[in-house]
């Protein structure tokens, strides 16, 4: 990879990361409802999930989702079911936002795991990396897989910086909104609605 090609890849990655989408919405929701720490831990989990997709794309495993409707639908429905489960838990648990910025009853590892699972169980992300990374691999490269993994690491690094910034900002917004106690219960239902919407959207996604 030359410098200009890497710079183009980084620029494209930043634009794709800051564009409004399910990942950003997920991090913002965690930041507003549970504070900065929860948002950052969730973001770390989602970024870690990218490593799975990068490796799968580099090894050609993601091509299975492209060629097999059964594999695509199986992973897609598992991800949708998980998001709907999170929606149910948000309503059942009556989540409250906390001014202390703590993670509430959910442990740090559970938040990290939540972000990781959401990312990994989205076959559309796998297909995205399968299509996106090869475009920036040097022509005539003797080790395409290694270059794709390096590109994936660059994508993860910029994603970590941007998602962390989004998480910290949304956490500050959450602390401000908590000056009005009635908002806490409202955001419990809002969180459930976002999870349910993302789950239904994923369930209806086409290969």
pLDDT in tens, 158-182: 999 998 898 888 877 666 555 555 5
Three-state secondary structure call for residue 153: helix
Three-state secondary structure call for residue 107: coil
Q: CB-side exposure of 129: number of CA atoms within 13 Å?
A: 33
Three-state secondary structure call for residue 57: helix
> Rg of the chain's alpha carbons, rounded to an integer?
18
Q: What does the pLDDT average to over 76-90?
A: 75
Q: Is the pLDDT of residue 105 over 90?
A: no
Q: What is the pLDDT of residues 174-204, one digit of tens each?
A: 665 555 555 555 656 666 776 677 678 767 7
Least confidently predicted of 19-33, 49-63, 188-202 = 188-202
Q: What is the pLDDT of residues 57-68, one digit of tens each?
A: 888 776 666 667
pLDDT averaged over every residue in the chain: 77
In sequence order, the 6+-apart residues with CB closer than 8 A to the CB of 120 are: 49, 52, 53
For residues 128-157, one letter each, b for 16 or more C-beta atoms within 10 angstroms of the residue's C-beta and e for the rest, the string is ebbebbeebbeeeeeeeeebbbbbbeebbe
Q: Is the pLDDT of residue 78 over 90?
A: no
Three-state secondary structure call for residue 5: helix
| Residue count (the chain) | 207
Residue 99's pLDDT band (cuts 50, 70, 90): very low
Which is more confident, 124 or 129?
129
Closest to 13 measured CA to CA, from 149, 167, 150, 156: 156
Least confidently predicted of 80-84, 136-140, 195-199 = 195-199
pLDDT at 74: 77
């Amino acid at each position: 990879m030359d410098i200009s090609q890497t710079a183009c890849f980084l620029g494209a990655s930043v634009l794709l990361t800051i564009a409004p989408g399910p990942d950003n919405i997920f991090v913002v929701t965690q930041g507003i409802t549970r504070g900065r720490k929860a948002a950052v831990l969730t973001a770390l989990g989602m970024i870690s999930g990218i490593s799975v997709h990068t490796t799968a794309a580099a090894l050609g495993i993601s091509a299975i989702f492209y060629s097999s409707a059964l594999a695509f639908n199986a992973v897609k429905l598992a991800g949708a079911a998980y998001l709907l489960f999170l929606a149910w838990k948000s309503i059942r648990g009556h989540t409250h936002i906390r001014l202390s910025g703590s993670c509430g009853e959910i442990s740090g590892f559970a938040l990290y795991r939540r972000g990781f699972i959401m990312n990994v169980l989205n076959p559309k992300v796998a297909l995205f990396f399968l299509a996106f990374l090869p475009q920036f691999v040097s022509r005539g490269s003797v080790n395409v897989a290694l270059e794709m993994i390096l590109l994936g690491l660059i994508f993860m690094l910029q994603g970590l910086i941007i998602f962390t910034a989004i998480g910290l900002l949304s956490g500050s917004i959450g602390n401000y909104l908590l000056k009005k106690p009635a908002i806490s219960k409202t955001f419990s239902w809002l969180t459930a609605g976002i999870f349910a919407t993302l789950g239904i959207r994923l369930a209806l996604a086409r290969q």
